[in-house]
């Protein structure tokens, strides 16, 4: 597979890396990501290659819906892939990307981590503005969290307190 193949998109606008992220195949994603440091991508509009060339790392190439591979991995609940992609993309994501990721992590129950790094809480600690930031649907992380049943097997009192403390940074939540 050459660099041109890595930049190719299918009919849905997904690259091979995007599909690896969507399937949760971390090893394949690592191999593809290590194949290039900066991939040249020709964006296709109306079936025509644009003459202006954009330089992206493969993990930042969006699909037709404007989603990053990290967003799709989070949406599909691939925890290990999310951890990997977050680690390699956190410095280059936009504020909108972070907001979308934060809400998606909560919706997909990826904020619930026991004995492992919690991407959602790390994201919130690094970017406290996410507590009130709204995604493209007008939702905040708190909206997503409020829909979670308190009896969910993935939802514990400790996780609820961690997210609420992170969002509000209020002491009285320690007695929930």
Mean pLDDT of the chain: 75
Integer-rounded Cα Rg, in Å, for the chain is 18
> Does this model's pTM top 0.85?
no
Q: How far is CA 110 from the centre of its chain?
A: 10
| Cα end-to-end span (Å), the chain | 53
> What pLDDT does residue 167 have?
52
Confidence (pLDDT) at 82: 93
Write out pLDDT tens, residues 66-110: 899 999 999 999 999 999 999 888 888 889 999 999 999 988 888
In this prediction, residue 93 carries a pLDDT of: 87
Q: What is the pLDDT of residue 59?
A: 74
Instruction: Return d(Cα 103, Cα 123) in angstroms, integer.
Output: 11
Average pLDDT over residues 153-170: 51
Phi/psi-derived region of residue 43, left when phi > 0, alpha when psi is between -120 and 50, beta in every other case? beta
Determine the pLDDT at residue 90.
80
Cβ density class 44-70: b for 16+ within 10 Å, e for less: eeeeeeeeeeeebbbbbbbbeeebbbb
Contact status, residue 68 vs residue 97, Cβ threshold 8 Å: yes
Average confidence (pLDDT) over 29-45: 63
């Amino acid at each position: 597979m050459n660099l041109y193949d890595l930049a190719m998109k299918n009919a849905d606008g997904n690259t091979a890396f995007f599909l690896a992220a969507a399937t949760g195949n971390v090893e394949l994603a690592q191999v593809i990501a290590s194949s290039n440091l900066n991939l040249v991508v020709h964006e296709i509009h109306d079936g025509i290659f644009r003459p202006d060339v954009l330089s992206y790392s493969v993990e930042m190439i969006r699909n037709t819906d404007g989603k990053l591979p990290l967003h799709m991995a989070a949406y599909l609940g691939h925890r290990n892939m999310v951890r990997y992609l977050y680690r390699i993309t956190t410095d280059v994501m936009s504020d909108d990307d972070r907001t979308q990721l934060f809400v998606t992590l909560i919706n997909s129950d990826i904020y619930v981590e026991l004995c492992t790094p919690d991407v959602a809480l790390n994201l919130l600690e690094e970017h406290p503005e996410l507590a009130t930031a709204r995604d493209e649907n007008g939702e905040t992380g708190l909206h997503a969290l409020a829909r979670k049943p308190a009896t969910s097997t993935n939802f514990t009192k400790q996780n609820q307190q961690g997210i609420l403390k992170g969002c509000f940074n209020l002491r009285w939540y320690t007695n929930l």
